Amino acid sequence: MFARLCIWMLAGSLAACAPAQPLSGPLPADQYHDASSLNPRAEGRRLATACAGRNGWGDAAPPARIFGNSYYVGTCGISVILITSDQGHILIDGAVAPAAPAILANIRALGFDPRDIRFIVGSHEHDDHMGGFAALKAATGAQIWVREAARIALETGEVDAADPQAGTIPQMTPVAVHAILRDGEPIRLGEGAITLTPHATPGHTSGSTSWTWQSCEGPNCANIAYIDSLTARSRDDYRFSDHPERVAPYRATFTALRSVPCDILLTPHPEVANFFARMAGDAPLIDRDACRALVERSRAALDARLAREARQEAAQ
């Protein structure tokens, strides 16, 4: 199989056949899926089937390998990503608190011990992504690392009063933060096994964080990008036009995301990245345009929101 991959990739770059080199071009989903001994296509199909018509934040889903040492262990409505190494694992996001037992069961079903998770990190400080942190920390003993802007929300369980969605987001069980992440400074685990880089992508919340890392299957490596929510959501009476200080971070985030390495796009809400269809083999899992397209969609949605607010103001 790898020989076939190398021949296919020769068109792009000879270097793609060397060990641990990034992919030189989009890899057709069927070739990628066949490349793994665990046959992720069957796992991905099972995941997609289990979640067909179910997208509740707490709806349990079966686990599935995404690529290499990266696994989906979340629910049908909320992504939770496990990255493994022989010297411990990292969990990205924790879904809602009631989903914690299903997430832990998924990790065990893959053959990993939740107590080997060393770090729990996340996308943004809302209960649908970090509400499960307290229960997952208690079950794993892992350290929780967030950016400074998310720390108080985690430690108090309260949504930041300046959050445009404040008043609509439930409280979380408070949980102690072990350390503060800095933009671009990776978490490393195992000797080169995991290098997970946080990217400050504020907008949806002040603490919003996106993540990039590389996972490999044999000689084939993919840049995985877990891009945080980019939607301009708010409670009904909130106007982004009145808060330029909340609009500017989105603009900066859209610019920053232009340069992140992105072969496989993942998002905290799986449907935003058409994740289940891609896992089932119905759409390409590896798509180097997906990050850029998500950013452009999000930019257009923010512009449309601001234009709508301007029209409403003009009509009053």
Give the interface with Zn ion as residue ranges (CB under 5 A).
128
Q: Which residues contact residue 305 at a Cβ distance below 8 angstroms, ignoring those fewer than 6 apart?
A: 232, 240
- For 39-63, b/e burial (b = at least 16 CB within 10 A) is ebbebbbbbbeebeeeeebbbbbbb
| Closest by CA position to 253, among listed 291, 287, 285, 214 | 291
- Tokens 């899992």 locate to 285
Strands (E) in 21-80, as ranges, are 21-22, 64-67, 70-72
Residues of the chain by 3-state class (helix, strand, coil), percent to 5: 40, 20, 40
* Residue closer to Zn ion (CB basis): 128 or 263: 128
- Tell me how far, at minimum, the Cβ of 187 lies from Zn ion, in Å: 22
- Tell me how far, at minimum, the Cβ of 193 lies from Zn ion, in Å: 29
- Tell me how far, at minimum, the Cβ of 313 lies from Zn ion, in Å: 28
* Residue closer to Zn ion (CB basis): 40 or 122: 122
- Name 121's bridge partners: 92
* Residue closer to Zn ion (CB basis): 57 or 67: 57
* Residue closer to Zn ion (CB basis): 73 or 130: 130
- Tell me how far, at minimum, the Cβ of 3 lies from Zn ion, in Å: 43
Tokens coding 254: 């859209």
Which residue's C-beta sits nearest to Zn ion?
A: 128
* Residue closer to Zn ion (CB basis): 33 or 204: 204
- Tell me how far, at minimum, the Cβ of 159 lies from Zn ion, in Å: 12
